[in-house]
Structure 1
Amino acid sequence: MTEPSTDPSGGAEPGDEQGPSAASFAAPAPSADGRCDTCWNWDPLASTRSADDRPLDVILSGTVFYDLVFSGLSRMPNPGEELWSEGLGSSPGGIANLATAAARLGLRTGLAAGFGDDAMADWMWDVLADQEGIDLSASKRFADFHSPITVAISTDDDRAMVTHGHHLPESLDTQILAAPSAKAALVDLAGEHHWWEQLAARGTKVWADIGFDSTGAWDVKDLDPLEHCYAFTPNSVEAMAYTRTESPSAAARALSEKVGLAIVTDGARGVYAIDGHTGEEAYCPALSVPAVDPTGAGDVFAAASVLGDLAGWPLMQRLRFASLCSAIAVQQHGGALAAPGWADLTDWWRTLAESSADGDLEAAYVAEKFAFLDGLVPRHETRAVHRAEATFRTHHQVSPSGANEDSMPTERIRVDRD
């Protein structure tokens, strides 16, 4: 059995577009059900890990929402009008989007968040901890506190949301700082930054994002905390507003004077990045795909960017990988559970490579740009991810004990038949 190397160069010269070749290794013993644990739970950073590694790759903190997403609508409803949607998805949302995206890409992910004591909180905790494998040791349950809820409506070219929720009864700063040590932290620049400034002082790479300034002030002082950050990933609207520039490219250049790695995303128009840590600059066009729901696409991009950085990939490879992950995510319903896993990435690459081999010129062009995936994706059966369902199952519906087998959720897997 072979495991693909995660060395971004694969022995090639810098700038070589060819992906790394697979390296041989001794096959680990299969688990009781016959699966290879190394392949089933794919770890793209396996070759970079050591005995003295930090326990977590990524730590996050924020609010977890219960998201209910209506999709497949051609337009928004008019006042007083009722429309029937083609799609409906339930999913943990908010910071769960980012945590799930990171975990599904193989990053060891920790989350510090507050959860209520209602059925939705029970379900979201189980999904994040048991299904997605996220470390919730720094999270806390609160009695007599209900889950924040967001209802979203997505059309072909727009979306609208309504949210209800309350502030947590207490701060989680103490628990965050006591959480297992992490290589990177993903944070909101506009939020409380006391805790992540301390993490930065401990050597954690802080990746910051920032939201839309509804006041319209776009005060440049809001960017002062970037002095503690390793990277900043705003979208083009935010980046241009804060830097008073006229293009995403100019905004990225202006931001690169404030932070080591500046990445400005511009939706379907692509992404611009300047990495002062490595001296690289790049523009990466977006992949054209039929979008179902853009919720959480930015979170998927950020998680994939962190993975590429921790793996030591060249900047362009990082941007292409992150753009691909986002493109896969927007073709699914709803936030956190739309995030791709390695089975999705493998399927995409295999399909593209087969089309290229069959003479499809467009596929050949794209395959050349993503050739690095050939040495990166698993070559074995891997665990497929769960997607958003219309509503969530309660404990008695998903518990193996006493359950009717026909009522149990099934898990789709990808098998490489080569």
Structure 2
Amino acid sequence: MAEDDRGIGVAHANGRGRVKPADAVGLGLVTVDELYLVDALPIFGESQRARARSRQCGGPAATAMATLARLGVSTRMVSRVGEDADGDFLCNQLAQFGVDVSGIQRGKGASRVAGVFVDAASGDRGFLSTPEDVAPLDAADIHADQFAGAQILHLDDADAAGLAAARLAREAGQRVVFDGTWQSDLLGEFLPLVEAAIVSDFFARHWMPQAPPEEILRALLAAGADVAVLTRGASGAVAATASQSLIEVPAFAVDVVDTTGAGDAFHGGYIYGMLQNWPLAQTLRFAAAAGALNCRALGGQIGLPDLATVQEFLEKNPTQM
């Protein structure tokens, strides 16, 4: 990775410089998360003091790659951020985790910033994001060399760039994991390319309102995914394949500070299990532990556990299934 005159690592401008092999590559959004731990949201005209504040890198696939890096997996992130100080911050934060950021392009405009307000009582949060300023990656920005050597490609959106990447990955014999949060008109083309579709309650409520979990999972499988997983926060996760009946994994009990990034850490943990070729039930349990442990600190990345921490936690909670 090149350096600018301040000694700060700068990703290749065109995203097509020489890159080192990575076992997992993420494609998606990278944001600055400005987090505030609060007792209540301020009312217009009033002032409120936060209990704590933190500034971190965020984004679904980005946090999943940071999770995997903490677990000892070689990872790379493909995205676009602004040619600004926030963009430098984001690249440096991911690089500190060990994520290869040579696939992060730099574009004109400001990097995306999200205000995250975390309820001190429950750990639940609300988001307030700045408008999109830097042009997101499009299909024309996606090239096979961005994913060269990877075993798994992780996508956080079924957009044009994600669809192009999924097609290239499947042509190369790579496995594709989808983090389903937002709706997309391209799902019909996208899901047949996906091995594991891991969708949130938020996605499910908008995709199939009022449908029970099993119906949602069966619909994902019918649409082409090999494995379907529904994450339900404190209610745990449920999964299915065409040949396996429903597998339910309860959420682990931890002292929750902030649930930001819990689902993203789950995805990272799930991909780790895929890389180990574990059975689905074991993979889900490991993923649930990674997600739960990430709730013990403010922000989506500062509390990410390493492999020894997850293993020790699982040993102390042997009956969680």
Q: Which TM-score band (shorter chain)?
A: 0.7 to 0.9
1:326–1:290: structure 2 CA closer, same or farther, 3 Å change rule? Answer: same
Counterparts of 1:349 and 1:140 in 2: how far apart (Å)? 38
1:280, distance to aligned residue in structure 2 (A): 5.9
1:349–1:263: structure 2 CA closer, same or farther, 3 Å change rule? Answer: closer
Counterparts of 2:270 and 2:145 in 1: how far apart (Å)? 26
What amino acid maps onto 2:236 in structure 1? G
1:189, distance to aligned residue in structure 2 (A): 4.2
Residue in structure 2 matched with residue 272 of structure 1 by the alignment? 238
SS at match of 2:259: coil
Deviations 1:300-330 (A, max 9, x none): 1111111112211121111111111111001
1:324–1:266: structure 2 CA closer, same or farther, 3 Å change rule? Answer: same
Residue in structure 1 matched with residue 33 of structure 2 by the alignment? 67
Q: Which structure 2 residue ranges, 5 or more long, are not aligned?
A: 1-19
Deviations 1:177-203 (A, max 9, x none): 222331111113432212221212221
Deviations 1:106-131 (A, max 9, x none): 222111122333323223222212x1
What amino acid maps onto 1:305 in structure 2? Y
Residue in structure 1 matched with residue 159 of structure 2 by the alignment? 191
Q: Which moved more, 1:82-91 or 1:233-242?
A: 233-242
1:92, distance to aligned residue in structure 2 (A): 0.8
SS at match of 1:186: strand
* Equivalent residue for 1:250, pick from 215, 238, 241: 215
1:241–1:63: structure 2 CA closer, same or farther, 3 Å change rule? Answer: closer
RMSD of aligned residue pairs (Cα, Å): 2.6
TM-score (norm 2): 0.82
Residue in structure 1 matched with residue 47 of structure 2 by the alignment? 82
1:344–1:172: structure 2 CA closer, same or farther, 3 Å change rule? Answer: farther
Counterparts of 2:206 and 2:144 in 1: how far apart (Å)? 33
1:136–1:249: structure 2 CA closer, same or farther, 3 Å change rule? Answer: same
What amino acid maps onto 2:295 in structure 1? V
Residue in structure 1 matched with residue 177 of structure 2 by the alignment? 207
Counterparts of 1:187 and 1:134 in 2: how far apart (Å)? 16
Residue in structure 2 matched with residue 384 of structure 1 by the alignment? none
Residue in structure 2 matched with residue 134 of structure 1 by the alignment? 99
Q: Which structure 1 residue ranges, 5 or more long, are not aligned?
A: 1-53, 353-365, 371-418
Deviations 1:171-228 (A, max 9, x none): 4854542223311111134322122212122211111122245xxxx87x73442011
Residue in structure 2 matched with residue 182 of structure 1 by the alignment? 150
1:174–1:238: structure 2 CA closer, same or farther, 3 Å change rule? Answer: closer
Instruction: State yes or no: 1:121 paired with 2:121.
Output: no
1:167–1:118: structure 2 CA closer, same or farther, 3 Å change rule? Answer: closer
Q: Give the conservation status (yes or no) of the 8 Å contact 1:197–1:228.
A: yes
1:66, distance to aligned residue in structure 2 (A): 1.1
Residue in structure 2 matched with residue 9 of structure 1 by the alignment? none
Residue in structure 2 matched with residue 23 of structure 1 by the alignment? none
- Written as runs of structure 1 = structure 2, the 5 A alignment for 1:9-408 is 55-71=21-37, 73-94=38-59, 95-129=61-95, 131-142=96-107, 145-155=109-119, 156-157=121-122, 158-164=124-130, 165-168=132-135, 171=138, 173-174=140-141, 176-179=143-146, 180-192=148-160, 193-213=163-183, 222-243=187-208, 246-258=211-223, 259-276=225-242, 279=244, 281-346=246-311, 348-349=313-314, 352=316, 366-369=317-320
Q: Give the conservation status (yes or no) of the 8 Å contact 1:243–1:254.
A: no
Q: Give the conservation status (yes or no) of the 8 Å contact 1:96–1:336.
A: no
What amino acid maps onto 2:164 in structure 1? H
Deviations 1:125-160 (A, max 9, x none): 22212x111122222234x53222111101034422
- Choose 1 or 2 for highest CA Rg: 1
Q: Give the conservation status (yes or no) of the 8 Å contact 1:294–1:330.
A: yes
What amino acid maps onto 1:162 in structure 2? L
Counterparts of 2:45 and 2:214 in 1: how far apart (Å)? 43
Deviations 1:79-102 (A, max 9, x none): 232211111111111242222122
Q: Give the conservation status (yes or no) of the 8 Å contact 1:184–1:205.
A: yes
Counterparts of 1:349 and 1:226 in 2: how far apart (Å)? 32
Counterparts of 2:308 and 2:277 in 1: how far apart (Å)? 22
Q: Give the conservation status (yes or no) of the 8 Å contact 1:115–1:147.
A: yes
Q: Which moved more, 1:177-186 or 1:319-328?
A: 177-186
Counterparts of 1:170 and 1:62 in 2: how far apart (Å)? 8
Counterparts of 2:272 and 2:21 in 1: how far apart (Å)? 15
1:223–1:242: structure 2 CA closer, same or farther, 3 Å change rule? Answer: farther
What amino acid maps onto 2:144 in structure 1? L
1:65–1:56: structure 2 CA closer, same or farther, 3 Å change rule? Answer: same
1:280–1:312: structure 2 CA closer, same or farther, 3 Å change rule? Answer: farther
Counterparts of 2:140 and 2:70 in 1: how far apart (Å)? 26
Residue in structure 1 matched with residue 12 of structure 2 by the alignment? none
1:170, distance to aligned residue in structure 2 (A): 6.7
